Structure 1
Amino acid sequence: MTTRKTIIATILGTIVLFLFDGAFQAIPNFGVRAVERLETNELTAPKFNELTDRMAYIATDQTVSFVATKQANFYNLSKFFVIEFLSAFVIALLFALLFAKIKFGSLKDRLMLTLGFALIASFAIHIPYFNWWGFSFAYTIGVVSKTVLGWTLITFIQNRFIFKIK
């Protein structure tokens, strides 16, 4: 495979993955949309300010809540889009470099390899968060689905249309 094809596969993969992830995150009650906003009250707000950039948990006699606390200015949509785009770029680049170097395998083989990678990543990252940190089932299924479907989609596009694998 040529460098030109690898660059095109990376650019196209980045754009597709960035748009796919954004659209997928907009699905109500699924993935990121499954996270609810709670209003603070006078008893908790000062303590949260003390916890900035740290993890904490709140335990009652019936529940445990894990909290990741950041300054309000951390939640900046422009910054999130840039980081999300860079993340999509790195994923697309790594897949383009991998599949540009592989000299064997049909499109189906490459899709199955990607599915394997996506499942490994999901079980290594998302399932422990579900298990140890109590991330909701809807959120976990959402991010696992986004990973599996998004990575499979860019693998299909890169290999079928750029690298011309059948």
Structure 2
Amino acid sequence: MSTTQPSGRPTSEQRHDELLQHIGGMLLDAAPDGFRRIDLLVRMTVAVQDATLKVYLPDGTTPEVMPPDGLNAAFGEMRQVLFQPGRGTWFSARCVVNAPVQIDITYNFDHDPRFDPPVPAADFARDLQAFPRDEAFIPDWLRAKLVEASETTEEQNA
């Protein structure tokens, strides 16, 4: 006996898989033929999106390849899909595509994404409003950013 999902909205797991396939397709389309590996690092808050894309060819060279249009939107939705009430969502993700089409993705929910250049602490405060976390899931680095954001707001209001 087989079971099927009811029609309608896909589950978050199904939507994650769909987005991952979409992202993988965009990366494959952007990479030159014969690539060896695609390495994408995405850092995000609700206010800032940063994507660094590096493509490796078999001879070890890394031609300049721009992140494809639509990539940030897909990862923005991925943050929403992976949001866990009380736990929050991820701050950075690494997506690696090894030729021909093996895709691996990892998500960083807890560590400072280390934007370069750094983003204002207020961006992390806004992100926490959009993707709330229970106290137990606010890492020390994020707690420090929230203090900095509140001090900056107080100074601006003084």
TM range (shorter): under 0.3
- For normalisation by structure 2, the TM-score amounts to 0.28
Q: Which fold has the larger relative contact order, with Cα–Cα distance below 8 Å and residues 6 or more apart in sequence? A: 1
| Between structures 1 and 2, the one with greater helix share | 1
- Structure having the higher Rg: 1
| Between structures 1 and 2, the one with greater strand share | 2
- For normalisation by structure 1, the TM-score amounts to 0.27
